[in-house]
Amino acid sequence: MVNAHRKALERLWKDRCSIFVKEKVTDPTTHLTDFEEKPLLQDQPCKLSFETLTSSSGDPVAAVAQTVKLFLSPDVEIPAGCKIVVTRFNNLERKFTYSKSGEAGVFTNHQEIQLEPWKGYA
């Protein structure tokens, strides 16, 4: 049963994500194996968070990096190497495509997943 804290938190998540995995598919007539992208999860409520990090270690040019984190239900299990497409609905719809980087931080009412820009299936 989902508690009141979790329901309140999930009401704040206005973004939606779809998770895709690459699965082996064998053609029954030719017996050739290929890979197809299949949806694992679609239209899951989530929250995409961006954090910009600037560091300067005495160098005249500062290095800028961006950390992207996805917040979603702790009930969802996202495998490594999958494709994550996040849709943000503001004044205009925007889509962001990422892959999971590292283990998820799973908490009582949510989980946090570090993301990296999508470069393709491994």
Q: What is the pLDDT of residue 2?
A: 65
Say how far apart CA 78 and CA 70 lie, in whole Å.
11
Q: What is the pLDDT of residue 114?
A: 93
Give the residue from 75, 76, 83, 79 showing the smallest Cα distance to 19.
83
pLDDT in tens, 72-97: 999 999 988 899 999 998 778 899 99
Q: What is the CATH number of domain 4-23+35-117?
A: 2.40.10
pLDDT in tens, 34-48: 989 999 999 999 999
